[in-house]
A and B are shown apart, each in its own frame.
Chain A
Amino acid sequence: MAGRLGLLLVVAALAAVPPLLPKYALEVLISVLFFGYLGACWNILGGYGGQFSFGHAAFFGIGAYTSTLLFLRLGLTPWLGMLVGGVLAAAFGLFAGYLSFRYGLRGPYFSLVTLAFAEMLRVVAVNWKAVGSSLGLVVPNRGSAPALFLFADKLPYYYVILVMVLAVLGITRALERSRMGYALAAIRENEDAAEAAGVDALSTKLAAMAASSFLTALGGTFYAQYFAYIDPSLTFGPAISIGGLLPAIVGGAGTVAGPLLGSFVLTPVSELTRAVLRGRAGADIMLYGLILILVISFLPNGLVGWIRSRRPAAGRAA
């Protein structure tokens, strides 16, 4: 009960505080939620499924490009284009996933092949004139057009990403307690044993892949509408792939709150480092690297795992 009340307070704070914040703080908060969102999407396949993708930018980019191209060429509102992008990303995820899982790629091999897929998409986008090649795509400035996922102010974007994050966290929580969730957990622990116990590993992993890729693609559309510009390196690049999985790992892969918590820790750390060490570019990423090493070494279950292990009678979810 206390947990639920606490959760309500947090959500209420997240909803009520932002209008009072100065522009700069709002920007940071949007960034926190954005990477928390990406981390939570990645978490479905990576944390819960145990399949560590290093190329989630592939789905992100597909989402961003699809909705933007539909918007620019056909005038389709990005709210719908987003869904089309999600479906295409899921299709690609199923394709890549099927190839990888069917050919038995696991662990680091799976990570490498996802990395390769994302890079290949980037190179294709760079060399494809119809999608703008390296010039990218500009989302025109039309002031406020909510029906077209365009807002004149930053605040509405904040609420959009807030809803998106809460939705994914809700989905994750539901997943955790579902049959598929149990199947994923079994696969994550020991895939062969799970198979022997009757779990259809291939279908389950593919389902997780589809969900994860669909949701990640929605994040791509958000990015396109928020920054109003996309190009191959921004959307298919390692910054998105790594930027998405770091918060999940640091916060706790395979937990509901992990990715968001991880992002709440990492993003301000980065801002603070930059503010304190002005004139030292790269110091913040160095700190990221150190945090990553420390978390893996000492908190292998992330922050959430550590917090849980400290509570005496922790009521752990499955």
Chain B
Amino acid sequence: MSNDQRDSQREPIGRRRFLTTVGAASAVALAAPALGRAQAREVKVGYMLPVTGPLAFEAQLALNGLLLAVDEINGAGGIKSLGGAKITLLPGDTQNKVELGNSEAARLIDQGVTALIGPFSSLVAFSVRQVTEKNKTPFLLLATVADNVLEGGLHYCFRMQPNARAMATLTVGNMMEMAKNAGVAIKRVAIMHEDGNFGTTMGNHVEGFAGKMGYELVQRVPYNLRSPDFTAELSKVKAAHPDLLVISGYYGDSKIIAETAAKLRIGVHALVGLANAAYSNPKFIADNRELTEHLFDGNYWHNPQSARARAVFDAYQKRFSATMSNHGVQGYQVMFVLKDALERAASTDREKVREAISKTNLTDHILTQDAIRFDEAGENVNATPALLQVQGGKPLVVGPARFVEAKPVFPVPKWKG
């Protein structure tokens, strides 16, 4: 049987479990008394994710992380400062649509959630944050990378993961550092990015920081992600003779780009994804073993040196029969940030919880960074993406130095041509 056959015949167990878990949670939520009172037996937390629609696959992975975290918290006795109150997760499906993000947020707030988590797409985030801000409800961003989501003086919005600026600068920085250590200079950088919000943001940063970081941006190519052919775009890149090619894209387009770049013998030392949806994605790697070997990706990730992270991965594997992905890590960790805030707030009052979140100083986490702390705007000041490289069919952390689990292979001969 080919990989594809196996994949399609195995229904993600997560999905079935999701339906039963959410079904139960919904029943409980609907039956429970509404609106947060200080000594409630439960804490209602709402999530908004595109669990159906084009981003369903990744959203489900993030949701799995949330579920795992909630189980762990409740299993260990719930929120101690609230007399052991358990977390109840209320579902919201945005289908990745702006209007739905709005209405789902409104609905969940009506149902009395203490905080909201979500919504994945930056586009949806823009409209949801209006709702949460107007209703003074803490909103923890999940997998939303656009810089300007936290723009505009919001009080209730917080982002745990690295924003686009951090992703871009730290990833390229890590690559250049690694290159220096390998004795091969990176002077000429090219970037191909999808022309939507996500890709353009990344492109802007890579272009904007060129001078400061000591490289020349020799080519920047935005592309329409629905295009069936990127040969012309890649030829443009090849003609500029870059040392490094950065790719910020989604799954399908990133795949075609990597394939075509390999065939064109693009001539770079390495191909690195920038928050790429495919290059450190276990499914993509499993389906394209030869292509993905030695691909780099700068992405949010867990800390492989952390014992707790290893334990979480084991728990995830046991429950969902799959390797935890970085989406799952995000979901898991963001729930624990909330848990930590709830403990300190000792209340389900939204104002108190917001206050507590803003004062977060969390060191017990599984991410590749120092303590989780939020600044005035709500950004996680120490957020750091990991630099990953696919080796032997597994994405391994090769940077920053203190989180490394394998030595990088650089330069990568097959891209040199």
Contacts and interface: CB of A to CB of B under 8 A. Distances in A.
Q: Is there a direct interface between A and B, measured as CB atoms under 8 Å apart in the complex?
A: yes
Interface of A: 22-24, 27-28, 31, 126-127, 133-136, 138, 140-141, 152-154, 227-229, 231, 233-234, 271, 274, 278-282
Contacts of B127: 227-229
Given A227-B126, A281-B52, A233 B196 contact: yes
B134 interface: yes
B112 interface: no
Given A135-B146, A141-B130, A279 B152 contact: no
Contact of A136 (B51, B197, B199): B197
A159 B119 CA distance: 29
B133 interface: yes
B160 to A, nearest CB: 21
A4 B246 CA distance: 65
A24 B146 contact: no
Interface stretch (B65-73, B100-108, B172-180, B391-399): B100-108
A138 B196 CA distance: 15
27 contacts: A22-B110, A24-B103, A27-B102, A126-B195, A126-B196, A133-B200, A134-B197, A135-B148, A135-B200, A135-B201, A135-B204, A138-B126, A138-B148, A138-B151, A140-B152, A140-B153, A141-B154, A152-B134, A227-B98, A229-B127, A231-B123, A274-B93, A279-B93, A281-B50, A281-B52, A281-B93, A282-B52
A127 B222 contact: yes
B133 to A, nearest CB: 6
Contacts of A141: 130, 133, 152-154
Contacts of A22: 110
Nearest to A229: B126
B19 interface: yes
B99 interface: yes
A138 B153 CA distance: 12
B53 interface: yes
Contacts of A279: 19, 51-52, 93
Contacts of B53: 281-282
Interface in B122-144: 123, 126-127, 130, 133-135
A23 B133 contact: no
A135 B153 contact: no
A278 B93 contact: yes
For the complex of A and B, list the 7 residue pairs with the smallest distance between their C-beta atoms, beginning with the closest: A281-B52, A229-B126, A281-B53, A134-B200, A23-B106, A281-B95, A140-B152
A135 B164 CA distance: 12
A280 B322 CA distance: 24
Contacts of A271: 103
A24 B110 contact: yes
A115 to B, nearest CB: 16
A146 B56 CA distance: 39
Interface string B184-213: 000000000001110111001000000000
B225 to A, nearest CB: 11
A48 to B, nearest CB: 28
A233 B151 CA distance: 20
A134 B164 CA distance: 14
B341 interface: no
A18 B366 CA distance: 47
Contacts of B201: 134-135
A234 B123 contact: yes
B52 A31 contact: no
Interface in B220-234: 222
B324 interface: no
B115 interface: no
B109 interface: yes
Given A23-B106, A140-B152, A228 B200 contact: no
Nearest to B18: A279
A141 B130 CA distance: 8
